[in-house]
Structure 1
Amino acid sequence: MVRTVVAGLDGSAESRAAAEWAAREAASRGLPLKLLHVSEPVPEPMAQAPLLGGETLQYWSEKVPRDAADGIRLRHPGLEVDMQDVAGRPAEILAEAGRDAELLVLGSGRLSGISGFLPGSVGLAVVAHAEGPVVMVRAGEQAADEHEPDLAGIPAAGTPFRPVVLGLDTDDPDDSMIEFAFEEAARRETALRAVSAWNLPPYYVYGLSLDPQYHDEIARQKAAELSEVLRPWRQKYPSVELVEVSRSDSPGRQLIDASREASLVVVGRRVRRRSFGAHIGPVTHAVLHHSAVPVAVLPHH
Structure 2
Amino acid sequence: MISVGVDGSPASSAAARWAAREAERRDLPLRLVHVMDRRGAAPAGPIEECPPPHPIARVPRQVAGELSPDHPGLSISAVVMFGSPAAVLDLAAEQSDMLVLGSRGNGAVPRLLAGSVALATLHRTVRPVVLVRGDDQWPREEELASATTSLRTVVVGLEVSRPSDDLLRFAFDAAAHRAGVLRVVHGWTTYVPDGAPGASSADPLPALADNEALTIALGPWRAKYPDVEVAVEAVVGRPAEHLVDAARGADLVVVGRSIRRSLGISHLGQVTRAVLHHAPAPVAVVAHD
Aligned match for 1:63, one of 46, 50, 58: 58
Shift, 1:265, TM fit: 0.4
C-alpha contact 1:136 1:295 (8 A) present in aligned 2: yes
Q: Any unmatched runs of 5+ in structure 2?
A: 41-52
| Aligned counterparts of 2:198 and 2:204: Cα–Cα separation in 1 | 13
Identity %: 40
Residue 179 (structure 2) pairs with residue 182 (structure 1) = no
- 1:288 counterpart = 2:283: no
Instruction: Flag structure 1 segments of 5+ consecutive residues without an equivalent.
Output: 44-57, 148-154
Structure-2 change in CA distance of 1:137 and 1:75 (3 Å)? same
Mapping of 1:24-43 within 5 angstroms?
A: 24-41=21-38
- Residue matched to 1:54: none
How far does residue 225 in structure 1 lie from its aligned partner after superposition?
1.9
Return the match for 2:119 from 110, 116, 124. 124
Structure index of larger Rg = 1
Cα distance change of structure 1 residues 252 and 291 upon mapping to structure 2, 3 Å threshold: same
- 2:266 is paired with a residue whose SS is coil
Which of residues 186, 207, 229 in structure 1 aligns to 2:217? 229
Shift of 1:217: 2.2
CA contact (8 A) 1:109 1:139 kept: yes
Match of 2:205 in 1: 217
Using the size of structure 1 for normalisation, the TM-score is 0.82
Give the structure with the higher percent helix: 1
Cα shift at 1:198: 2.0
Aligned partners of 1:185 and 1:192 also within 8 Å: yes
Q: Would the alpha carbon gap of residues 231 and 278 (structure 1) be closer, same or farther in structure 2, given more than 3 Å must change?
A: closer
2:168 aligned counterpart, secondary structure: helix
Q: Deviations over 1:98-132 (max 9, x none)?
A: 112111000011799x9954321100011122111
**Residues in 2 aligned to 1:224 and 1:121: alpha-carbon distance in whole angstroms:** 39
CA root-mean-square deviation? 2.9
Question: Superposed, which structure 2 residues align to 1:148-159 within 5 Å?
Answer: 156-157=146-147, 159=149
Q: What TM-score, normalized to structure 2? A: 0.85
Number of equivalent positions: 275
- Offset at residue 157 of structure 1 (A): 4.0
1:138-153 correspondence runs (5 A): 138-140=133-135, 141-143=138-140
**One-letter amino acid of the structure 1 residue matched with residue 2 of structure 2:** V
